[in-house]
């Protein structure tokens, strides 16, 4: 086996590691997506309107992100005052 071959097979093995890690994570993601679907299906079966639920979640998410933005803004102000 030449040195190049060794390097190649090391690279290939390393590449394989990365790809498999990514693929495993993709599978986990798929599982999560399944679970999310199940939650909505269950809620629907209990008579809730899934569309409305998703809308609610969007709004809640925006509010959260908004809070984060506000906090970042406060932090900026703080720094500006300390450095000013």
Contacting positions for DNA (CB under 7 A): 29, 33, 37, 40-41, 44, 50-51, 54-55, 58
28 CB-side CA count, 13 A? 6
Task: Give the number of residues written for the chain.
Answer: 84
Is 8 a binder of a second copy (CB under 8 A)? no
Q: What is the largest CA-CA distance in the chain?
A: 68
Site string for a second copy, 29-48 (x = CB under 8 A): x--xx-xx--xx-xx--x-x
Cβ contact 55:63 at 8 Å: no
- Which one of DNA, a second copy, none is in contact with 76 (Cβ closer than 5 to 8 A by kind)? a second copy
Q: Whole-number minimum distance, CB 84 to a second copy, in Å? A: 10
Query: Pick from 32, 37, 69, 68: which is nearest to 50 by CA?
Result: 37
Check residue 71 for interaction with a second copy (CB under 8 A): no
């Amino acid at each position: 086996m030449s040195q190049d071959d060794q390097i190649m097979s090391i690279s290939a093995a390393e590449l394989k590691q990365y790809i498999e890690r990514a693929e495993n994570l993709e599978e986990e993601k798929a599982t999560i997506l399944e679970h999310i679907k199940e939650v909505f299906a269950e809620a629907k079966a209990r008579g809730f309107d899934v569309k409305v639920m998703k809308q609610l979640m969007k709004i809640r998410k925006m509010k959260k992100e908004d809070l984060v933005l506000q906090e970042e803004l406060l932090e900026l102000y703080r720094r500006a005052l300390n450095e000013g």
